Amino acid sequence: MSADELSVVIVGGLHADARRAAVERLLAEAPGSVALHHDLSTAVGGTVRRTVRDRTGVTDTGETPLVNDCACCALREDLVPELERLAAGGLTRLAVVELWDSVEPKAMAEVVAASGLTVSSVITAVDPALVLPYLANGDDLAERGLAAAATDQRTVADTFARQLEYAPVLAVADSPEADDEDRALLAQLHPTARRVPIGSGHPGNPAGAPAPSAQSAPEAPARETTPAVDAATDAGAGAAAGPEAPRSPLLEAAFAGFDIEAAAAAQHPACALLPVEADECGVATLVWHGRRPFHPERLYAALEDLTCAAARSRGRFWLADRPDTLLHWDAAGGALCVEAAGPWLASLPDAAWELVPPVRRAAAALDWHPEHGDRCQHLVFTSPALDRDGLTRLLDYCLLTDAEYAAGREAWSRLPRPFDTFLEV
């Protein structure tokens, strides 16, 4: 079997029990499939432990040393050779890469694709009852034993948000603790995702998030045999028998195909596929637009209130004192990250537009304004009990007033620059 005949599906997520349930189901449904997992918790001893298993159990184990004191770097170095070995063996049609808790799928998908292997899907496994607790968890990964390197400064909340929003497929556990609000929150955070059920997944709490309920499902053996699994196995065997045989939703999603460039573009601040307005089961999403720039001092003073107003907020914005810089807003777990994401296209000379990816030009065209070009405020806030009116009033208050706007760019350039501390200018 050549590398282009091996399909690689990446399954990740901080909800470890849901992730394991999704992987076990794929192994049961796809005959001849294997799962690779690199356990980064062993990095304290200087190595990362690799496990390869199929539906019957572990078939191979090994260790790889850290690279530059980084467990995630070791994973990158070891993963592709293992996948190439499986492809050369000719016996594996589907390789399921089960990522360790805090490993983000974007980096791994790009590493696998760059090697010439086929990434057939990226799936994040989710327990709906744990979505809000994890989004609200501002703890550093290092505090929870989940850091991938000594320099890893990510938090539980921002890591979970990126895992959730990158994947086009969400494998959703049937959690007895989840209610309609939990499911509405998940749907609004990633409305374009394909959500496929994976049956029962016993809830876990590896990141130290507060448990949604004092009751939890009983512990089940890793290779649980249930009617659902039996049916899935039959469906998987049928899938192997011929192209016309039906596949389960999860197995179908695993072979659906994955576009690396489109996935990256969907996360880029300039052309991100942000959620739309919604209001259901006590969860709301506010999409706020503005055509004037923010007054930097007023916005800076409002940051704490804006960051804490929603479980998740993201988008792009512009400040009056730096009108040519596209700024990225990314908040979860009560913490905000503001980063410069390059220039607005309107600030570039015409000749430079040829160097800009088509998807970026298309996104700019959708926001184009006769005076400001693609400069705009586009922020999205999603949360239970969202105060839409209060949030809108606060955001509007942070924009330039009529008089400030009329003063023009020269006057704007003399405004205070409190965001220099964020942007390290």
Segments making up each domain of the chain, as ranges: 3-267, 278-423
Confidence (pLDDT) at 290: 94
Confidence (pLDDT) at 200: 62
Confidence (pLDDT) at 203: 40
Predicted model pTM: 0.86
Q: What's the rounded Cα separation, in Å, for the pair 237 and 231?
A: 10
Confidence (pLDDT) at 53: 96
Per residue, the 3-state secondary structure of 172-229, as one string, reads ECCCCCCCHHHHHHHHHHCCCCEEEECCCCCCCCCCCCCCCCCCCCCCCCCCCCCHHH
User: Whose structure tokens read 């028998």?
Assistant: 241
Which residues are bridge partners to 316 per DSSP? 328, 378
Confidence (pLDDT) at 233: 38
Residue spans of the chain under pLDDT 50: 1, 202-244, 425
- Asked whether 250 and 235 are in contact (CB, 8 A), the reply is no
- Phi, psi angles (nearest 5°) of residue 394: -65, -45
| H-helix segments, 268-344 | 296-308
Confidence (pLDDT) at 4: 56
Largest Cα separation within the chain, whole Å, is 72
Which residues are bridge partners to 37 per DSSP? 51, 98
The one-letter code for the residue type at 366 is L
* Sheet strand arrangement including 335-343: 278-280, 283-290, 377-384, 312-319, 322-332, 335-343
Instruction: Output the CA–CA distances (angstroms, integers) from residue 321 to 245, 278, 328, 378, in the order listed.
Output: 61, 33, 16, 18
Instruction: Output the CA–CA distances (angstroms, integers) from residue 232 to 29, 57, 99, 219, in the order listed.
Output: 5, 18, 23, 21
Confidence (pLDDT) at 154: 94
Q: What's the rounded Cα separation, in Å, for the pair 129 and 120?
A: 28
81 burial (CB, 10 Å; 0-12 / 13-18 / 19+) is exposed
Q: What's the rounded Cα separation, in Å, for the pair 232 and 171?
A: 15
DSSP assignment of 33-96 equals -EEEEEEGGGGGGTEEEEEEEETTEEEEEEEEE-BTTBHHHHHHHHHHHHHHHHHHHT--SEEE
Q: Which CATH class is domain 278-423?
A: alpha beta
Q: What's the rounded Cα separation, in Å, for the pair 283 and 184?
A: 6
Confidence (pLDDT) at 142: 92
Confidence (pLDDT) at 355: 87
Q: Domain spanning 3-267 has what CATH number?
A: 3.40.50
